[in-house]
Amino acid sequence: MYLFLSLAAFVSIFPFFWMIVSSTNLSVDVTKGRLLPGTHFLDNLQKLTSSVDIWSAMGNSAKIAISTTILAMLIASLAGYGFEIYRSKAKDVVFSILLLSMMIPFAALMVPLYRMFGKITNFFPTFGIDTPAAVVIPTFTTAFLIFFFRQSTKMFPRELLEAGRMDGLTELGLFFRIYLPTMKTTYAAAAIITFMASWNNYMWPLVILQSPENQTIPLLISNLGSGYAPDYGMIMMAIVISTIPTALVFFLMQKHFVAGMVGSVK
Amino acid sequence: MKTTNSAAGPGSSNVFRSSRSNRFKTGIVGWLFIALAVIMIAAFYFYPMIQALILSFQTGTGINMKFNGIGNYQRLFTDKMFLTAVTNTFIYLLFQVPIMIILAMFFSVLLNDRNLKFKGFFRTAIFLPAITSLVAYSIVFKYLFAPNGLVNEMLMNIHIISAPIQWISDPFWAKVTIIIAITWRWTGYNMIFYLSGLQNIDQSIYEAARIDGASAVRQFFSITIPLLKPIILFTSITSTIGTLQLFDEVMNITKGGPGNATTTISQYIYNLSFEYSADFGYAATVSYSIVIMIVILAFIQFKVAGDRNA
């Protein structure tokens, strides 16, 4: 038992170990298979920052991931709450139709969305092709997240709403003053999932973002990695830097993260 | 919207026992809560799919599109490249999804053992790959599996192989590399679902089985697997959908090569639209083929999983 688990743990952790160690070694040493921490951490960092603008890519990714997360939380929780609290047959039908969108692969949406944003560019260039807004707009509403909030709302104590109505709160007031503060853990889990998905998103930014100053972290890493004479130390440094935000989010909020994933199946 | 408001009455009445006009008002309020989400999903999922359907009957490049009847669909059946992409995608699906699900279940059963020490460490370690971005881990794997990479070196040091395996440039091994990579990334992620499922199983069922003399293996097949059925269904459907959309890994580890030995359907759609001559019409036709495959496979999996009461 311990043998299997140790082997699995080793295989899972080894690539992380290798990428961290390699970010401190020179490219030649990495090729030779050096597995000990080196002294070239700063050299690699300097090489990286002088050859690509990693900080601007980090900034773009952060801007996109944070705005996606905020918008996603608002829209999906309003809808999940609406579907469950004001439940009706007609709304249940609408809900099942929304769920169908989960079956649509992104590759199928890519071409029509690209053409849509092409047209938008003519009228509103700030939301058109090659803008961060174009990355955020079609991705922040997902049926998965609405489903997730609806499932969690099933456990929300409705008596609280009755009490709030007695106190004369409006329907929207009930949502913001009572539901939102009560459901903090649900929001935390949903926010982590959304942030990670957005931070790591590759296909849509690849299609819609064109100029180098707009590129996100996955695009930058993909470009670095596709070179013919890669500088391993430098690329591993870029990968380590890009993984820090998601690793931090994971370790700080591990409990919510797992609760969030599991909550979606129940 | 007006016709549906009356239907909202019964559902909302239990939270709002008041006069009729008020009930009518909450009906509208309920729709307002969901309106934004409905508009967004309609605009960015369903409307584009209608556009794609129209496109799939057209041919041309950029904005010069003209009607092509079922030409694109006929082309699909004679397109060798499409056939290769579909075959590759199904090879990934048939090998990777079962291997990963069995591994995820196996590790979750081991981790669920009450006497296990360092449980938290093992769980976090096995889950860790799931926090990496698909692009980042793909690049790491590309280098680890390079001809002079660490994986070959390690295998040669412990004398499993005598010459380096061409993990990336051999058509067979390139597929193996992709399968290994995806399994590494997603096993821990799926394991978490099984762990939560196992924790919900009442321990007294196992005790009763032990008293009846059922072996550990027997208990696993007669109790654990049937009770985990909903989770097996959930993980296999999400993994199937994920694999049918496979893009990031293939794009970054092998670029679809060598030749087209690792190209997937998603990558083919991307190439048709943005790498070759912007053949949006035909790309939309290929897109619809994945939609149809996903619907059929999800349907089969629901049927196979069968009676939900088990």
Q: Does A110 touch chain B (CB under 8 A)?
A: yes
Is the Cβ pair B291, A105 closer than 8 Å? Answer: yes
Is the Cβ pair A1, B131 closer than 8 Å? Answer: no
Is the Cβ pair B113, A247 closer than 8 Å? Answer: no
**Which residues on A lie below 8 Å from B28 (Cβ)?**
none
Token pair for B173: 């091994």
Nearest Cβ partner for A85 among B15, B106, B245: B15
Q: List pLDDT tens digits, range B147-201.
A: 888 888 888 888 777 778 888 888 899 999 999 999 999 999 899 888 888 887 8
Is the Cβ pair A175, B33 closer than 8 Å? Answer: yes
Confidence tier at A249 by pLDDT (50, 70, 90)? confident
Tell me the average pLDDT of chain A: 87
Nearest Cβ partner for A9 among B7, B125, B244: B125
Q: Does A218 touch chain B (CB under 8 A)?
A: yes
Is the Cβ pair B128, A103 closer than 8 Å? Answer: no
Dihedral sign of CA atoms A55, A242, B262, B265 in order: negative
Nearest Cβ partner for A105 among B40, B138, B290: B290
- The residue whose two tokens read 């300097």 is A46
**Which residues on B lie below 8 Å from A140 (Cβ)?**
40
Q: Is the pLDDT of residue B2 over 90?
A: no
CA–CA dist B222, B151 (Å, integer):
39
Of B291, B184, B194, B175, residue with least CA distance to B235: B194
CA–CA dist B194, B197 (Å, integer):
5
Of A193, A199, A208, residue with least CA distance to A250: A193
Q: List pLDDT tens digits, range A125-164.
A: 888 888 889 999 999 999 989 988 888 888 888 889 888 9
Is the Cβ pair A230, B230 closer than 8 Å? Answer: no
**Which residues on A lie below 8 Å from B277 (Cβ)?**
none
Nearest CA in chain A to B39: A141
Q: Is the pLDDT of residue B214 over 60?
A: yes
Is the Cβ pair B287, A107 closer than 8 Å? Answer: yes
Q: Is the pLDDT of residue A32 over 80?
A: no
Does residue B177 contact residue B253 with C-beta atoms inside 8 Å?
yes
Q: Does A202 touch chain B (CB under 8 A)?
A: yes
Q: List pLDDT tens digits, range A50-86.
A: 888 889 999 999 999 999 999 999 999 999 999 999 8
A residues 47-106 lying closer than 8 A (beta carbon) to B? 75-76, 78-79, 81-83, 85-91, 94, 98, 101-106
pLDDT score for B26: 60
CA–CA dist B93, A226 (Å, integer):
26
Give me the residues paired with residue B61 across strands: B64
Nearest Cβ partner for B131 among A114, A141, A250: A250
Q: Does A227 touch chain B (CB under 8 A)?
A: no
Q: Is the pLDDT of residue B69 over 90?
A: no
